[in-house]
Chain A
Amino acid sequence: GRDVQVVDPEVRAHVYSLVTALGGFNGEDASKYCLGDDALACLRDIRKWLKLYDDKTNRLDVARCLAEANLVNGDLLPILTLCRETTGSKKKHLARIALACLELLVPLTWPVEIHSQMTVNHHRHTPYLQQAQVQYKRGILDRQAGSHVLRSVIQIALPSLALPKSERTNRDDGILKLMLYLCRNVAMISPLRGLAAEGDEEETSRSATINAFQTQDVFALLLTMSSNMGDDFNFQDVIILEILFHLVKGVDVHKLFMDDAQRSDKYKEELNDLLRKETGVSREYAKTAPTRHARFGTMIWVKRDDAKVSTVSGQDVLKNGQAAFNKMDQTKKWNRPKHVGRKREVEAASGDFNATTHLTSAATKNLRTFVEEFLDTGFNPLFTHVRKAIEREANRVLDVNTRQFLYLVSWFLLAERVRRSSQRKRHEKDKGTSREIEPDSFSLVAGVLNQETFIFLNRAMQYSFDHGDWQDLNANLRCFSQILLTVQEMAASPLEDDQEIAENIQNRIFYEETTHDRIISIVRGYKDQGFGYLDACTELLHVFVKMLENYSKENTDMQIRSKRRAKRAKKDSSENKKTENAERNESEEEELLDAARVSKERKFDFKRFASRFCNQKSIDAFMQFTTFYRELDDEQLKRAHRFFYRVAFKQDMSILLMRVDILNLFYRMIKGPGALDNAKPIYREWEELIKQLTRKMTKKLDQRPALITEMLFSKINSTLYFLEYGHEKQTVSAG
């Protein structure tokens, strides 16, 4: 075949000659990098190529050539090491070269991602560049070579960092930005999932990044900058936020705060669970596995009505009727065509926080130390600062930052709670030996527990719900759940101040009826947004309802502010006016319709609230959630169980659950094939629930034969009451 030129040969020639002129490993000492005579000029020229050719014409050609010429690993990184090691008269010149290297490293490691406005050129180069960037990351983190690239980069920025904020020039700010962006890029680049990694994947994993950040003092830098946010630093908040996001996304907080013994116990437990699951599967198979060879050729008839029979083959169906029924169903070939909705816009993989990441034990220790120190010093200043920046829509803030902010808040709140509980446990353990400790207050995370944050949160939630930004909403829901849980823990704190503040916060959260409505409508609106989202919204509903129930029990005369349509009386008065001046009133009435919602305080009725989320839509959402029962953990199974229990027995709406597909799922959960692990306590709870429900259903079927058809469908509101209670609803005039 003919060689396909993916890049203009002239461009390639120019770029290659520049890279060659930069320097190389030759001269008397072959292991030492020799700078070319005009190295600085070469670096600047390469930068110009990147800027004037790639950026201006929106291509990635030069970046591709540079990747093929191995510029980063072959030249830039050795030069940076060289600069750090040299001292003396040449120092100043080398510092400028180092800075020029950094100026190239940042754009070269800048993540190339699949986005909606790609040209042919982008499609051609992106996979190659993504591979190349993983190589860059490998070079930067390389431990064997002992080249502390990140440390050298920090050294470049140190003089600018040391200046007070008022004396920093634009150039200094630029250098700080470059340094932080390089850290961000390093944290963000991850090996592509679909592609086979060249060499060891461990070298570019999250663990390797965390360890390098620890040994090369990047964590120390981040701590310094975030704890002085607002005083010495200003514009760097968002970049630090991004670095944190890419470091902690998907990290399991609970595992982070276990000590080694606990963690290995946990891993053992997980392994045990998996092994048990596997034996379960093989046992289930063994139960129905053929006891003769595959050609034994058993065939049975299933007798049916009207002298009809179905034939099923295989010996497994001899054992019990249920197996025959399953097999009859399984052998059907046709699948219902599923409606595939409008193709969603490509979501950049780097923003996804739903996938879990595993860390090595060394990395866990490093990250935990950092997280604890960050909570102690940097949390409040950084997050307050970022929130303000997002609110004021500062230029440096991107859309994705809101999501990162919300996710990080939820992550760190959970981290703080887990840390407290692990501290408490430790103290209980050596109670006899150590003296009593003062209970800590929650001031360490107070920066996100104020009224401003709640307003921000509510607004963001409403916005992303209205615009269908599900990933944003997902982060938002998680954040809100964590805040609720934190407040709940605060209310249980021994400190009186904490209790009072918690009381206050709960008051504010539960006061607005719009919040209640929104949470219900989010769960009701679930439709193909993915499992992560489903997990987040069911969790929020669970937490919210539970806390609201407790709170309204304690505060029996709880008031809420509801916005409802204005009373008739107002309209009447406007109608009187209408006769006087019909023309003017037309527009006025429109206005009135718009503003016809008045705020009013009224007594909160939990029963009424709870009955509102017992509807077919939210049951469907929970039902979708439960179909994943094989993969759910105990806490998630409990959540679904409590929901269904509440619907059936607390709200007396069991009729909503009497649908054949729901019952089918429930039956499979207990009796298989593919049942829950019956050694677990949660299995008993589910078994009991389904038992009770079936008992109720049998009774209902007796009383109302129409149910046999209604079980096929979602219930209609008008007949719901009759089916549940057997008589029509008495309309009581509201007194």
Chain B
Amino acid sequence: PDSGAVLGLDADLKVTKQRAPVAKLDAARLLSQNGIPKLRKNARSKLRLKGKGHEFSDLGRLLNFYQLWLDDLYPRAKFADGLAMIEKLGHTKRVQIMRKEWIDEDKPDLKTYTS
């Protein structure tokens, strides 16, 4: 018997090229180094708000800060779209747990508070 036919050596190989996967803005990306950790770090060092008397320039500065961060994180999306996507991610369990942790870091030591 023809071993080639049995083993299928002669048959044409069909190569289907896989589409390159589209990068997604998901919880993993949001929590990665480039995501919220970077946002927190930068906020401390880069974001300076002037306070009273400069309300609208402050607001503009804050929005620009977020916009640049989002552009780095996920360049594909427009600002408003990206915000909506992140807001939606905020409802997932994983992100919620992290959010709780970040807030808890802020909290004064519970013992000293209650005493």
Contacts and interface: CB of A to CB of B under 8 A. Distances in A.
Interface of A: 304-305, 308, 310, 321-322, 325, 328-330, 332, 334-336, 659-661, 663-664, 666-667, 670-671, 690-691, 694-695, 698-699, 701, 704-706, 708-714, 716, 718-719, 722-723, 727-728
B30 to A, nearest CB: 9
Interface of B: 36, 39-40, 42-44, 46-47, 49, 51-52, 55-56, 58-60, 62-64, 66-68, 71-72, 75-81, 83-87, 90-91, 95-96, 99-100, 102-103, 105-108, 113
A683 to B, nearest CB: 13
A718 B99 CA distance: 11
A684 B75 CA distance: 36
Contact of B87 (A334, A659, A666, A716): A659
Contacts of A727: 108, 113
A719 B58 contact: no
Given A336-B81, A670-B56, A714-B87, A709 B39 contact: yes
For the complex of A and B, the 10 pairs showing the least CB-CB separation, nearest first, are: A713-B90, A336-B81, A694-B55, A708-B43, A706-B106, A691-B55, A661-B83, A706-B103, A334-B76, A706-B102
Contact of B66 (A328, A660, A719): A660
Contacts of B63: 660, 663-664, 667
10 contacts: A308-B72, A322-B64, A325-B67, A663-B62, A690-B56, A694-B56, A698-B58, A706-B106, A708-B43, A722-B103
Contact of A694 (B58, B77, B83): B58
Given A659-B87, A691-B56, A329 B96 contact: no
Nearest to B53: A695
Contacts of A706: 102-103, 105-106
B68 A304 contact: yes
A321 B100 contact: no
Contact of A710 (B56, B99, B108): B99
B34 to A, nearest CB: 11
Given A663-B62, A722-B103, A709 B78 contact: no
A722 B107 contact: yes
B64 A325 contact: yes
B46 to A, nearest CB: 8
B71 to A, nearest CB: 7
Given A335-B81, A714-B90, 11 more contacts: A308-B72, A329-B78, A336-B78, A663-B62, A664-B83, A694-B55, A694-B59, A705-B106, A708-B43, A712-B86, A716-B100
A691 B51 CA distance: 11
Contacts of A710: 99, 102-103
A719 B105 CA distance: 12
Nearest to B100: A719
Contact of B64 (A321, A709, A716): A321
A691 B56 CA distance: 7
Nearest to B108: A727
Given A329-B79, A334-B76, A705-B43, A698 B49 contact: yes
Contacts of B86: 712-713
Contact of B99 (A664, A701, A716, A728): A716
Contacts of A694: 55-56, 58-59
Contact of B103 (A328, A659, A723): A723
A329 B67 contact: yes
Given A304-B68, A335-B81, A336-B77, A719 B103 contact: yes
Contacts of A663: 59, 62-63
A664 B85 contact: no
A332 B42 CA distance: 24
B62 to A, nearest CB: 7
A322 B60 contact: yes
Contact of A705 (B44, B60, B87, B99): B44
A329 B68 CA distance: 10
Contacts of B75: 332
B35 to A, nearest CB: 10
A704 B60 CA distance: 20
B60 A671 contact: yes
B55 A695 contact: yes
A708 B55 CA distance: 17
Contacts of B72: 304-305, 308
A328 B107 CA distance: 38
B60 to A, nearest CB: 6
A423 to B, nearest CB: 46
A415 B22 CA distance: 57
Given A691-B55, A706-B103, A712-B86, A335 B78 contact: yes
A704 B90 contact: no
A659 B84 CA distance: 11
Contacts of B105: 706
B68 to A, nearest CB: 6
A671 B84 CA distance: 22
Contacts of A328: 67, 71
Contacts of A712: 66, 83, 86-87, 90
Contacts of B80: 661, 664
Nearest to B62: A663
A695 B58 CA distance: 9
Contacts of B40: 705, 708-709
Contacts of B96: 716
